[in-house]
Amino acid sequence: MKCDPTLYRGAPPSLAVKPRLLRHFLLPLLIILMTIGLGYAGYRISEHFGIRTLSETGERQLELHARTVESELGKYTYLPSLLELESSVSRLLADPSVQNRVTVNQYLEGLNRRSRSRAIYVLDTTGRVMATSNWRDTDSYLGEDLSFRAYFQDAVRGQPGRFYGIGSTSGEPGYYLAHGLEEQGKIIGVAVIKVRLEALEERWQRARLEAYVSDENGIIILSSDPTRRLKSIRPLSPETKERLARSLQYYWWPLNELEPLERENLATGVEKVTFANNNQVVTDQQEVSYLAQTRKLNDTPWDITLLSPLQDLRREAANQGTLVAVAFALLAFLLIAWNERRKVIATRLAAREALQEANNQLERKITERTTHLRASNERLKGQIRERRQAEDTLRRAQDELVQAGKLAAIGQMSTSIAHELNQPLAALRTLSGNTVRFLERGDLKVAADNLSTINNLVDRMGRITANLRSFARRGDDQGQASLGKAVDAALQLLASRMEESGVQLHRELNDVALKIDQTRLEQILVNLIGNALDAMQGHTASPQLWLEGEFNDSKYRLRVRDNGPGIDPEARKHLFEPFFTTKPGEQGLGLGLTLSASLAAAAGGNLSVEFPVSGGVAFVLLLPLVQPAKAEPI
């Protein structure tokens, strides 16, 4: 089955990079943008609600101050019409004599003082001042023609004349209220009262209130801020400007426009306006924004506008916006920190789990390994047991072999032993017979000599059998042997054969203590010397045997050398093999060298063979010393 190779294709690298890019660059950017956005939104919302609250408060204040202005103006509304009731005024208008004028002047003067108005005066229907309260003053209106004044023109037509303007004589601003004086349904003159309204402005200033009153032409006639006074709140058309210039309502005042830097209509009668700051003592800002609330003043064509500064509100909104931004930034920071912490905890948990898993695996492996070790340990123990058993079997076999070898050697020696024992036995028989006869004769001396000889012969026979017994006895791997004694014992055992062959012995040995059982050493020596004697017998004219010893580190090296015929190369290969023998018939068993080598090895030494150039054979026995120190030659 063929697999689609595209299934195994790795994701494009861009996909792998994206999440990191998002986390490291886009996320902080997004947080910054959201912080700014939310801060701005907080600012706008706070400003919106602040404006609403401010507008509610402003509305109440506007109402209050509008009422105050209305009541202030209302106080004087009926005063001009009262002059209609004054007969002296009618008389003056009918007969403008000096007497009548003086009377009315004095009357008006008193009335003006009591009403606390600026001036009260009476005009005839042509607009000339007939009598006035300020008749004593140098700038008295008396005789002046005020027919150009709008309030006169309205009043002479029977309409109430309301007018705010600047006095053409005094140049003083004031509120003019005019009333057409009627007599029998006909207008005979006009009564005018001029009042100052500065008290209102002063009251606003004391209350730190920003407000202004604009008249029907849109000219600010009262303002808490003197710089705004006599400025138009809306653009004046050229016709209006000409009309106002003609009526001299505002005298020659330039009537500049009050130009707000910014204006935004929020609702009817409510707008947001921004002016350049004229009063930089209060605040050092370049511009000042207000919530402007306007309301009509009853019984007048005027509007009152209350200006509530937005500065504090904006500061508060900015604070709220900053607070929102900071809170969001903090929240974002906390969320990021929480997320990072969550990741760290997750990583730690994963690491701990991985560690736990690794630990479990390790424990599993340890358990497995322990099981294996235990099994192999058991196997090893089994092998050791088997090896020990094999060793025991081997040792037993070795012992058996040694024993067999010994017995074989005894068998081999039996002829010479028999010969050895037969001779003294025959001598004993002869001597004992002779001794009996010497005793019967009473020759005690000869009998005693014979008995002494018999004693010596018995001793010799005892030594021979003792040697045989000790040779036949089972030995062990432990123990130590005296080389001198072992050589003596071996030579003793083989003495008759040596004598028989007439071998010349060269003994160059040290009396050393060797780590081997005494009997075993004797047995090895008997084997080696016996073999040498066998080899030389009948082959060598003057047989010689060398027993040479030398120290070799912690061991002692004994050479048993003869000048026999040597060993042919073929036989050399099989020398240490059991039952290899070249001896004819019953003479050889082929166990001597095998046993000797194994006894030497069991004692921590070894047996080897050398073939000297001078001829013969040299068997080299290397055995460990009990005390590796030199001893005297023996």
Token readout for 334 is 């906390």
By CB under 6 A, tell whether 593 contacts ligand ADP.
Answer: yes
By CB under 6 A, tell whether 525 contacts ligand ADP.
Answer: no
Residue number with CB closer to ligand ADP (86 or 522): 522
By CB under 6 A, tell whether 558 contacts ligand ADP.
Answer: no
Token readout for 535 is 């080899």
Closest CA to 170 of 124, 118, 214, 220: 118
Per-residue DSSP letter, 477:
S
Per-residue DSSP letter, 516:
S
Give the interface segment with ligand ADP, choosing from 115-123, 199-207, 476-484, 563-571 (CB under 6 A).
563-571
By CB under 6 A, tell whether 523 contacts ligand ADP.
Answer: no
Tokens 């290397």 — which residue?
A: 622
Residue number with CB closer to ligand ADP (295 or 574): 574
By CB under 6 A, tell whether 592 contacts ligand ADP.
Answer: yes
By CB under 6 A, tell whether 581 contacts ligand ADP.
Answer: yes
Smallest separation, CB 561 to ligand ADP (Å): 9
67, 91, 128, 583: which one binds ligand ADP (CB under 6 A): 583
Report which residue type is found at 228.
R
Interaction pattern, residues 530-549, with ligand ADP; x per rule: CB under 6 A: -xx--x--------------
127, 479, 484, 590: which one binds ligand ADP (CB under 6 A): 590
The answer to whether the beta carbons of residues 598 and 611 sit under 8 Å apart is no
Residue number with CB closer to ligand ADP (406 or 515): 406
Give the interface segment with ligand ADP, choosing from 96-104, 350-358, 387-395, 591-599 (CB under 6 A).
591-599
Residue number with CB closer to ligand ADP (42 or 530): 530
Which of the residues 340 through 379 are near ligand ADP (CB under 6 A)?
Answer: none
User: What backbone torsions phi and psi does residue 271 show, to the nearest 5 degrees?
Assistant: -145, 165
Residue number with CB closer to ligand ADP (218 or 590): 590
CA 464 to CA 461: how far, in whole Å? 5
Residue number with CB closer to ligand ADP (307 or 575): 575
Number of amino acids touching ligand ADP (CB under 6 A): 21
- Three-class SS of 206-253: HCCCEEEEECCCCEEEEECCHHHCCCECCCCCHHHHHHHHHHCCCCCC
Give the interface segment with ligand ADP, choosing from 19-27, 113-121, 413-421, 590-598 (CB under 6 A).
590-598
By CB under 6 A, tell whether 588 contacts ligand ADP.
Answer: yes
Residue number with CB closer to ligand ADP (51 or 401): 401
By CB under 6 A, tell whether 524 contacts ligand ADP.
Answer: no
200, 617, 621, 625: which one binds ligand ADP (CB under 6 A): 617
The CA-CA-CA angle for residues 500, 506, 509, to 5°, reads 130
By CB under 6 A, tell whether 58 contacts ligand ADP.
Answer: no
Residue number with CB closer to ligand ADP (412 or 435): 412
By CB under 6 A, tell whether 526 contacts ligand ADP.
Answer: no
C-alpha torsion angle, residues 208, 213, 214, 215 (rounded to 10): -160
Is the CA virtual torsion 322, 326, 331, 332 positive or negative?
positive
CA 173 to CA 194: how far, in whole Å? 9
How many H-runs (helices) and E-runs (strands) does the chain carry? 15, 18
By CB under 6 A, tell whether 589 contacts ligand ADP.
Answer: yes
Residue 410 neighbours by CB distance under 10 Å: 14
Tokens 């400025």 — which residue?
A: 231
Give the interface segment with ligand ADP, choosing from 225-233, 300-308, 361-369, 582-590 (CB under 6 A).
582-590
Q: Which residue's Cβ has the minimum distance to ligand ADP?
A: 592
The answer to whether the beta carbons of residues 490 and 507 sit under 8 Å apart is no
Q: How far is CA 112 from CA 108, 230, 312, 367, in A?
A: 6, 26, 45, 124
By CB under 6 A, tell whether 582 contacts ligand ADP.
Answer: yes
Question: What is residue 482's three-state secondary structure?
Answer: strand
The CA-CA-CA angle for residues 163, 168, 171, to 5°, reads 95
CA 229 to CA 214: how far, in whole Å? 9
Smallest separation, CB 542 to ligand ADP (Å): 16
CA 1 to CA 7: how far, in whole Å? 14
Smallest separation, CB 575 to ligand ADP (Å): 6
By CB under 6 A, tell whether 580 contacts ligand ADP.
Answer: yes
325, 575, 603, 625: which one binds ligand ADP (CB under 6 A): 575
Residue ranges that bind ligand ADP, judged by CB under 6 A: 527, 531-532, 535, 562, 564, 567, 571, 575, 580-583, 588-594, 617
